[in-house]
């Protein structure tokens, strides 16, 4: 059991994976902060949740940005990056659903209505799960054979 946990936490040394992880971290930090700090974006996000029929939209309007900020911080530091990648995939699956269901272009002020961006983010998170978080991280346990 302990060996499985050790393998789960290990990552391959890859500068590409590190760059992708940091890019995703900045993306999640920025979107989370913008959803909380910019009233127009907060209103658009709330409208997206209502139009898509997402339950507890009043709660999700505050929880999702806070989770995005937390995911961004974890990915930036390289801590619990697999868990953060899985959570990011879950958020992006819901975002893809919202993009597919909501047909009001006024609810998407900064991005296209098509779900291309969430799908790209899902693909990048899957790459991190497959390849690892890279070498630029606080948690330095790296598989020796990949160095």
Q: Where are the domains of the chain?
A: 2-146
Which residues, in sequence order, are CB contacts of 71 under 8 Å at separation 6+? 25, 28, 32, 84, 87, 88, 91
The candidate with the shortest Cα–Cα distance to 25, out of 82, 95, 89, 74, is 74
Summarised one tens digit per residue, pLDDT across range 78-134 is: 888 889 999 999 999 999 999 888 888 888 877 766 788 889 999 999 988 887 776
pTM greater than 0.85: no
8-state DSSP, 21: H
Torsion angle of C-alpha atoms 87, 90, 91, 96, degrees rounded to 10: 150
Q: How far apart are CA 118 and CA 59, in angstroms?
A: 22
């Amino acid at each position: 059991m302990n060996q499985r946990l050790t393998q789960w936490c290990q990552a391959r040394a890859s500068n590409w994976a590190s760059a992708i992880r940091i890019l995703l971290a900045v993306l999640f930090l920025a979107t989370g902060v913008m959803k909380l700090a910019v009233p127009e974006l907060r209103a658009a996000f709330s409208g997206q949740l209502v139009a898509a029929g997402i339950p507890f939209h009043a709660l999700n309007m505050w929880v999702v940005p806070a989770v995005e900020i937390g995911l961004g911080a974890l990915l930036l530091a390289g801590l619990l990056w697999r868990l953060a990648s899985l959570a990011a995939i879950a958020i992006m699956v819901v975002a893809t659903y919202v993009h597919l269901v909501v047909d009001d272009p006024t609810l998407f002020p900064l991005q296209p209505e098509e779900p291309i961006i969430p799908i790209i983010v899902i693909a990048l998170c899957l790459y991190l799960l497959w390849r690892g978080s890279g070498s630029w991280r606080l948690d330095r346990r790296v598989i020796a054979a990949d160095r």
